């Protein structure tokens, strides 16, 4: 057993829209500006907030998710990624104790307990004075395993308002106020139908977030927050696995060994496709893959690769540019017909369709799969998803249970079911049609579910193995 001393805090709130993201981004910006090495984390499944947190800190933001991962995996992932930093900051999600059931499974509180981290509670103080103490006290004592160590007051009206709030928390709660963000301050980060806009899409937006973070950080008590973080207890756990085993299960998983020679795996990375967990890319590399980036907006042909991974993103926002790149789309379609292994998630599924329709306009896509996609005004699938494998593929075997998440405003239409099979039966969530997810065609699996390599450790090995087999057959 080893002990690890890692200063850390969780930024949480009583409910969503309390100003948690503003406070977290402000804290990261302030720490970075002060010269601290800071590792960001996001509780739960999310790609967009982490993209901003990655930009601000210069380190890949990691996701900690107790629905997808067990506690041992969470603690190992956390410790290993924070060993060389001065402080770790976790941004929570929803309300502190909100989870998938009455026990709070999957909540921010569960993550705080798993990594023994103190909590900074961000409170929207609109039209509130002394009652703030009752609210904070309730969160302090609701779960003895969660330590609320400080409060950040948001939307404070004026100095008198601040004085009352501070006095109430001091008298009845006995914990410090570690930030006061005035009402009327604008920390606007533009958003769209799935939340904030990813950091890599627009330099002007990125600059706006940098400015918002810098301004928000000016209202935080940085020395006080650092002191709270440094008082976090040591984490005691077994020896960490090596850096080249991101799946947490050793080098030989179900008879699958990492490829000895490099298998080239295309990864679609551009402004349209940004939704990738760093652990997924690390798992592919650890399994023997050489990752080859593909830009759907610029590249005119597919590189010479043995497999492809097409993650999520916003292809609908760049549909005209993607559609105009006919040479790349045709080349990819031909490779798929020849048996190229392709794993696609959400935006990747949309990209492989015949077309994307939005606001009365259709744009042709790769046409590799026999269906169209239409954008809707409301989410069609949102939240965690559990899947049962019903048809085997290069990536999963019949009977396996798979956990992931989905968040899509699009739906599949005009699906020619005679030409495909479904990989998964949906046991929780929506998927493609409420019953199934994962279109299987040739050597392609395209689904709405997003998977995390720490929750599905065989996935990377199998994708690389499929690429190696394909390379040997050519």
- Contact at 8 Å (CB) between 244 and 288? no
346's tokens: 């959400």
Question: Among candidates 374, 370, 363, which has minimal Cα distance to 336?
Answer: 370
Which residues have C-beta within 8 Å of that of residue 188, sequence separation ≥ 6? 208, 212
Among candidate residues 61, 173, 346, 447, the one labeled active-site is: 346
CB atoms within 10 A of CB 346: 27
Q: What SS3 class is residue 403?
A: strand
Which residues have C-beta within 8 Å of that of residue 452, sequence separation ≥ 6? 45, 63, 65, 68, 69, 277, 279, 280, 404
Distance of alpha carbon 305 from alpha carbon 225, whole angstroms: 48
- Contact at 8 Å (CB) between 83 and 4? yes
Name residue, tokens 């496709």: 273
Q: What SS3 class is residue 465?
A: helix
Distance of alpha carbon 19 from alpha carbon 9, whole angstroms: 16
Question: Among candidates 343, 246, 341, 339, which has minimal Cα distance to 287?
Answer: 246
Which residues have C-beta within 8 Å of that of residue 256, sequence separation ≥ 6? 458, 461, 462, 465
Residue 173 among the catalytic residues: no
The 3-class SS string of 280-321 reads: HHHHHHHCCEEEEEECCCCCCCCCCCCEEEECEECHHHHHHH
Angular region, 288: left φ>0, alpha ψ -120 to 50, beta rest: left
Distance of alpha carbon 400 from alpha carbon 397, whole angstroms: 6
State the catalytic residues. 346
């Amino acid at each position: 057993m080893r002990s690890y001393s890692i200063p850390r805090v969780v930024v949480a709130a009583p409910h969503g829209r309390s100003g948690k993201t503003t406070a977290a981004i402000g804290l990261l910006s302030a720490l970075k500006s002060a010269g601290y090495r800071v590792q960001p984390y996001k509780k739960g499944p999310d790609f967009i907030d982490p993209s901003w947190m990655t930009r601000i800190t210069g380190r890949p933001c990691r996701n900690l998710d107790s629905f997808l991962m067990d506690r041992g995996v969470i603690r190992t992932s956390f410790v290993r990624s924070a060993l060389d930093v001065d402080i770790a900051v976790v941004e929570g999600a929803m309300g502190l104790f909100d989870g998938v059931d009455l026990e709070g499974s999957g909540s921010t509180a569960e993550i705080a307990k798993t990594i023994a981290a103190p909590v900074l509670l961000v409170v929207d103080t609109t039209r509130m004075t002394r009652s703030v103490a009752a609210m904070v006290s309730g969160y302090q004592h609701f779960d003895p395993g969660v330590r609320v160590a400080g409060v950040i007051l948001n939307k404070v009206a004026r100095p008198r308002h601040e004085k009352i709030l501070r006095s109430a928390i001091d008298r009845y709660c006995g914990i410090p106020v570690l930030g006061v963000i005035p009402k009327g301050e604008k920390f606007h980060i533009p958003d769209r139908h799935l939340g904030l806009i990813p950091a890599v899409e627009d330099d002007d937006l990125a600059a706006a977030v940098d400015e918002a973070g810098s301004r928000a950080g000016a209202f935080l008590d940085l020395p006080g927050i650092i002191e709270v973080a440094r008082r976090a207890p040591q984490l005691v756990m077994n020896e960490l696995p090596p850096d080249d085993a991101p799946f947490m299960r050793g080098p030989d998983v179900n008879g699958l060994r990492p490829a000895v020679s490099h298998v080239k795996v295309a990864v679609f990375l551009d402004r349209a496709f940004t939704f990738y967990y760093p652990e997924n890319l690390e798992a592919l590399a650890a399994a023997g893959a050489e990752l080859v980036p593909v830009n759907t907006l610029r590249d005119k042909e597919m590189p010479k690769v043995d497999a492809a991974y097409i993650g999520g993103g916003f292809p609908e926002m760049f549909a005209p540019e993607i559609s105009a790149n006919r040479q790349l789309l045709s080349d990819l379609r031909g490779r798929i017909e020849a048996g190229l292994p392709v794993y696609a998630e959400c935006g990747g599924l949309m990209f492989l369709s015949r077309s994307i329709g939005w606001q009365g306009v259709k744009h042709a896509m790769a046409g590799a799969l026999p269906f169209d996609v239409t954008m809707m005004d409301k989410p069609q699938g949102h939240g965690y998803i559990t899947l049962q494998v019903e048809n085997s593929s290069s990536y999963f075997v019949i009977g396996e249970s798979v956990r992931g998440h989905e968040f899509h405003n699009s739906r599949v239409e005009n699906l020619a079911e005679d030409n495909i099979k479904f990989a998964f039966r949906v046991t929780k969530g929506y998927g493609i049609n409420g019953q199934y997810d994962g279109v299987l065609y040739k050597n392609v699996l395209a689904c709405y579910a997003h998977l995390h390599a720490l929750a599905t450790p065989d996935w990377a090995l199998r994708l690389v193995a499929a690429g190696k087999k394909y390379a040997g057959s050519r």
